[in-house]
Structure 1
């Protein structure tokens, strides 16, 4: 009966979910079109102009303008949450959690979203016509179901942005500062969760370059009835220290006329493909699995999203050309995730599997094994691994080449042509280009998963393409999962390119190394604190700079790099039986070595990254800078089951000037407001 034991289903039925097999109700694969993401509406913003209008779920007068510090206007708190009154905004109050550089980056665009239970989508906007969305009629309500012939998900089973499918896409461009207001509309009663998940949330814009108050810190969660204003400056790294004359058009943003607005900062730090998801302490895996995940395309002078502009700066990657930037015609987001559901067809999860939960049904963009219609030309696919614990290794069914142009949010220095991609860890993003002009009209080709799991610790093996497609694997998520149907020639010539040079890495060789740190990830952790809110005891943990492995406590400071410095961090896998994709918040890094050797770093990892996969018994050495913003950030395993149980630590930049204290006090949210306490522990090597 111990929750640390594997389920009998996993051992006797060959199903890795820990649950009974998910019923398909007679549904066959590749019988529904793959929906493109649902593009979030954007509004131009001017302070005091009354344009911060509530979205339809919030009828009435316009909402309050965003403020530099949290809005602590009081409102009634439901009795189930303790009664009394509490703030309308769940962001921790005061100057330490104020939006950094608010006057430098005033909001230009606002986006409002809710988090709520499943419902039909009556305002679906794919950003492309039906002909480029596999014939889907966006004017018809989109049901909250994984297939038209599967049951609708109930409002307690599926919790998504705006409560609807398909998953949401945020569009941004450099220096067009976004204010994202996130309303928590989940049930007030925490027991109303369909068996898993929790109604408190905190939204992480994965590896966004902004202050910690907008990072989705795991302990800065907010409650039903509250909102949280996230401020995304979308500036290049080094904005306040590099290229101060804004003289390099490669560090720029597309304007509405097809030109470039030059910006400060380092063009080498340009980012392209992000995602956003919940980061609630101890519940990240459950809340993300329930639907709290979307993607974020960022456009720049280099990555314009218009393939026809030929100005010597634009890379002209596959996209389209109708708009000056951000065309989605041939630039397609793919969210991969394994799911499981109960005998009623409702999303289900085994919350007692601490190795890593696996589903037995493959979804793409939150629908079951779809098809996608393509033209005979090049397409860019921004692929996200949004699973809980599953790795993917991707190939095309005919073993034809794909060109990888990005790893995580960052374009590579040079493209890499591959017939099989590397194993893709949870939260990694691989941008690839596939040229469908090599196929004739009427052809079909499939995307195939080669990574076979027996449990959530790691893939047990990578199969050959032939074996993966044979159907012999006991892992139901191995094999074909997305069908491409070549349906026509393009109406316009394909002018897109994959240039030989994409985005070179920053040269950090002249920046002194201020400190070196080592982090060891594995089992057998202990807990040295006892705070009932911020600490947790679990099987997983992290050891810092030679100390013992510790369970997560978001009140403990494990590292505190100095503002404006560069450090070298070594991440080490302390075990031989598991694989950890490690995510470091705020700054992407460059991998210097694997297992101590620079020549062990493959070509597709030679760009900047924010997720670093630690294979069993191996290490990764990387370098990072700490600039522009400060606050408390995180480092954790992105096998989100490991993170929640309790492979996560806090690090901070607390000498960035302004209102910062050293060390920073820890926020403790309640429905009646956020209080602050001193850190529960500061490791001896944190401050150097």
Structure 2
């Protein structure tokens, strides 16, 4: 019998302490020097309690064992230059705990089981360790996708220090596998670079905040609508998932006791589709030091931060400046973003900080400068590509699927960058939604966001010709420009693509901090992918192959 859905709002806020996510170290210290290690991490079905007043929920979770698995998964702490070898094991049950739709391009196991594969988001690694959507596997590797090649992945950690995350990436099941809990944070450290900044550090003062939205049934199970918005075409798929409750580190609307000093929070939006425009109710500012896998050139102070799905911001909050004894972390982003329903109670609340009285010792500081990566310019670009985002609808305006460049995922590859090159991607958004663009392997940065004038004429032409040059994009991308926030001016793994605009993105296919080629063969099979990181869009099927060439 189906469970009755429980709205998020009846749950009392701020009754559960913010959990501290357990850590896994991706290295061992031997003879004073860090050494590479091999580790096994599994995917497990287990019970998880999201709120004091909710019964326990069945989730899928990462961990070195079922007992130690958590929602979100353990934070993996790595060192730059020290490779990490991890065997990913699937211990998931024969059937999924959430509804899924076989009418979209989907991994389907012929012998049952839940297909899964792990992608290190923001990682720079060989294609065989990238977690291709077609490299999925079931329990005991009984069934495998066409691109599966090995059980143990190698993450060389050759890139600069920064914040990443790992999550499931199985074809057509990414949205449901992440909704079930297959996600976790991953950090690459470089103590030689970072130590002298004296940023807040230690388990108490350097914390992960992994934010998701979820709805629950009264029996505690995760709720997902089992009926599609156009069930005659896709019985289950819907264009976006928005949950009633905001969950941070596995608890709905938690609280955290803080001292009057500086704290560092690495904030990841791991939601399927929800954007968060975060601010603090007592007026404190965020001091942003990093975005995705990169540090900023210098800290940026801002009252608000807009996080797209899959985006990470590394911030400092100085609670010594507070004039109040508590502060709510709030959300004001419409859903879908930017033209959807205004954020309202309870999804306008995220968590609460309870600020202690009195002064606290604080040896940390905010440096004046951080990392001077190469500037994002088109000067050395060898190729300019036009990437167009389409949404297809029924006559009455209901979405049925989304494509990039009008092509399916299984259509032949058209993006074949040369390893070691820089490219300019002109990303044209003909839909009504903002889309977080994620390009595997590459680091990239938006440098211009320009309005497309006479959008209807241009869209009609693109519907017919699917060719931006033939449709005279140079005459249409002439409208007003949007300022790129200072806190986004870094080499990123997710760039927001504004609806009705063309966003110019500089994409680099080499190590930006050392100007060096990748220390592996990036042209090997099965290649990489790029996609929208609204997971419901990615699954149906706003995703395309990316194949590097020599």
Alignment TM class, shorter chain as reference: 0.7 to 0.9
Decide whether the 8 Å contact of 1:35 with 1:166 is kept in 2. no
Counterpart of 1:118 in structure 2 is 46
Deviation of 1:592 after TM superposition, in Å, equals 2.2
Counterpart of 2:165 in structure 1 is 275
TM-score by length of 1: 0.64
The answer to whether residue 425 in structure 2 is matched with residue 559 in structure 1 is no
Match of 2:53 among 149, 153, 159: 149
> Deviations along 1:243-292, whole A, 9 cap, x unmatched?
xxxxxxxxxxxxxxxxxxxxxxxxxxx23111000011111111011000
CA gap of 1:637–1:315, structure 2 versus 1, over 3 A, is same
Bigger CA radius of gyration: 1
In 2, Cα distance between the equivalents of 1:26 and 1:598? 43
Deviation of 1:149 after TM superposition, in Å, equals 2.9
Decide whether the 8 Å contact of 1:41 with 1:111 is kept in 2. no
The answer to whether residue 520 in structure 2 is matched with residue 625 in structure 1 is no
Match of 1:109 among 37, 42, 48: 37
User: Which structure has more strand as a fraction of its residues?
Assistant: 2
In 1, Cα distance between the equivalents of 2:77 and 2:442? 21
> Deviations along 1:165-203, whole A, 9 cap, x unmatched?
34210001111211122111112x3x3535449711111
Counterpart of 1:316 in structure 2 is 198
Counterpart of 1:165 in structure 2 is 70
Counterpart of 2:328 in structure 1 is 446
In 2, Cα distance between the equivalents of 1:601 and 1:452? 19
Decide whether the 8 Å contact of 2:174 with 2:539 is kept in 1. yes
In 1, Cα distance between the equivalents of 2:483 and 2:209? 29
Decide whether the 8 Å contact of 2:279 with 2:331 is kept in 1. yes
In 2, Cα distance between the equivalents of 1:215 and 1:207? 10
CA gap of 1:180–1:45, structure 2 versus 1, over 3 A, is farther
Deviation of 1:614 after TM superposition, in Å, equals 1.2
Match of 1:40 among 17, 21, 24: 24
Deviation of 1:620 after TM superposition, in Å, equals 1.4
Match of 2:340 among 460, 468, 491: 460
Decide whether the 8 Å contact of 1:318 with 1:379 is kept in 2. yes
CA gap of 1:208–1:43, structure 2 versus 1, over 3 A, is closer
Counterpart of 1:515 in structure 2 is 383
Decide whether the 8 Å contact of 2:27 with 2:79 is kept in 1. no
In 2, Cα distance between the equivalents of 1:206 and 1:216? 10
Deviation of 1:409 after TM superposition, in Å, equals 1.8
Decide whether the 8 Å contact of 2:260 with 2:320 is kept in 1. yes
Match of 1:579 among 425, 434, 438: 434
The answer to whether residue 424 in structure 2 is matched with residue 568 in structure 1 is yes
Which aligned pairs between 1:266-665 and structure 2 lie closer than 5 A?
270-301=160-191, 304=194, 309=195, 314-319=196-201, 327-350=202-225, 352=228, 353-421=237-305, 423-439=306-322, 443-453=325-335, 456=336, 458=338, 460=340, 473=344, 476-478=346-348, 480-487=349-356, 493-507=361-375, 512-524=380-392, 539-543=401-405, 549-553=406-410, 556-575=412-431, 577-595=432-450, 600-627=483-510, 628=518, 629=520, 630=522, 631=524, 632-655=527-550
Unaligned 5+ segments in structure 1 are: 1-18, 47-105, 120-143, 237-269, 320-326, 464-472, 526-536, 544-548, 656-688
In 1, Cα distance between the equivalents of 2:45 and 2:400? 29
> Deviations along 1:616-673, whole A, 9 cap, x unmatched?
1112111122231404111100000000011000011133xxxxxxxxxxxxxxxxxx
Counterpart of 1:64 in structure 2 is none
> Deviations along 1:110-152, whole A, 9 cap, x unmatched?
3321101014xxxxxxxxxxxxxxxxxxxxxxxx110233211
CA gap of 1:367–1:31, structure 2 versus 1, over 3 A, is same
Q: Relative CO higher for 1 or 2, CA cutoff 8 Å, sep ≥ 6? A: 2
Partner SS state of residue 337, structure 1: strand
> Deviations along 1:482-522, whole A, 9 cap, x unmatched?
1111236676x312122221112314669632211111012
TM-score by length of 2: 0.79
CA gap of 1:367–1:174, structure 2 versus 1, over 3 A, is same
Deviation of 1:395 after TM superposition, in Å, equals 0.4
How many residue pairs were aligned? 469
CA gap of 1:563–1:232, structure 2 versus 1, over 3 A, is same
CA gap of 1:303–1:348, structure 2 versus 1, over 3 A, is farther
Partner SS state of residue 523, structure 1: strand
Deviation of 1:434 after TM superposition, in Å, equals 0.4
Unaligned 5+ segments in structure 2 are: 102-112, 142-149, 229-236, 394-398, 451-476, 511-517
Decide whether the 8 Å contact of 1:178 with 1:232 is kept in 2. yes
Instruction: Say what the alpha-carbon RMSD is for the aligned residues.
Output: 2.8
Partner SS state of residue 529, structure 2: strand
> Deviations along 1:77-118, whole A, 9 cap, x unmatched?
xxxxxxxxxxxxxxxxxxxxxxxxxxxxx9712332110101
CA gap of 1:166–1:519, structure 2 versus 1, over 3 A, is same
In 2, Cα distance between the equivalents of 1:510 and 1:385? 30
Counterpart of 2:89 in structure 1 is 183
Deviation of 1:460 after TM superposition, in Å, equals 2.4
Partner SS state of residue 140, structure 2: coil
The answer to whether residue 83 in structure 2 is matched with residue 193 in structure 1 is no
